[in-house]
Amino acid sequence: MVLDPQRIPTREKLILTGLYLSKYDTAGVKKLGFNSFLEAFNVIGYALGQKPASIKNYRDEFDPFFPNKREGWHKRPTREYCLEVFEDYKGLDFATFTSLVKSFAGYDENAWSEVEARPKKGDGESQFAKRLVTGLAAERYFESVRCTLPDFKGCSIENTTQLGCGYDFRLSPAAPGDFLAVEVKGLMDQTGGISLTPKEYGVASILASRFFLFVVKNFRESPFHAIYQNPLATALKFRKKERVTVHVSWLTTV
């Protein structure tokens, strides 16, 4: 049994997520912060860069092992590699298994709780789902459809999410020319509010028509996207919202 997500292959992560959702059923869905299995399939599937149906199929694979209302793939033997995963991880308790599944998407529950002075009830669950939708799941969705989009056809792509550029992806055309910047946002529903950081807003203003806002909508049911080129000049109305925060530091003399 391996609990280090860096050492677990993607297919095994999909199998383990399916096993988790089969074993813990709706309690597992809720613990991850989702309202339905479909939400969980969509968000975690895209976050892992795979088709959401893959997780559903693995959940159904394990359903005959557990007392839920689904029959699953009961008319054929469970595949050998799935049985191996089941045997390796069947002893995990609920809390450990939950943390493992969350870690597949880079979510460190312990680190998150350490920076929250007063965590709200259920906040860990809701934050996991929200952070995946607004971040990794939406970004992986963009990567999966990017080659089919006329605006970005023939462009090479660079992931800049960790570089603090004010956008998530830099796309360079095959022929010499200026790069395009794409900022990706995600929504659980078909409509909702999105925000730009001061850096994102400033870069969007400077790059103008070379800046694209790519919004993935409706992770709750069936994700689709909308593209806004030069979003500050479109029908979208951005309202400046200011918030005063208190920064505390601890000083010493050495």
Length of the chain: 254
Same domain, 88 and 207: no
Residue 106, domain member (yes or no): yes
Residue 224: domain span: 148-233
Same domain, 177 and 106: no
Residue 186, domain member (yes or no): yes
Q: What is the pLDDT of residue 108?
A: 63
The answer to whether 48 and 104 are in contact (CB under 8 A) is yes
The answer to whether 50 and 42 are in contact (CB under 8 A) is no
Q: Is 22 exposed, middle or buried (0-12, 13-18, 19+ CB in 10 A)?
A: buried
Same domain, 170 and 126: no
Please report which confidence band the pLDDT of residue 109 belongs to, taking 50, 70 and 90 as the band edges: low
Same domain, 170 and 72: no
CATH code for the domain in which residue 199 is found: 3.40.1350
214-223 pLDDT, tens digit per residue, is 999 999 999 9
Same domain, 69 and 20: yes
* pTM for the structure as a whole: 0.86
Residue 248, domain member (yes or no): no
Same domain, 193 and 111: no
Same domain, 111 and 183: no
141-153 pLDDT, tens digit per residue, is 999 999 999 999 8
Same domain, 34 and 112: yes
The answer to whether 195 and 207 are in contact (CB under 8 A) is no
Question: CA-to-CA distance for 223 and 216, rounded, in angstroms?
Answer: 6
Q: What is the DSSP string of 36-69?
A: SHHHHHHHHHHHTTS-HHHHHHHHHHHGGGS-SS
Residue 244, domain member (yes or no): no
Same domain, 110 and 23: yes
The answer to whether 229 and 209 are in contact (CB under 8 A) is yes
- Of the candidates 118, 93, 114, which has an alpha carbon nearest to the alpha carbon of residue 101? 93
- Tokens at 34, concatenated: 């989702």
Number of domains in the chain: 2
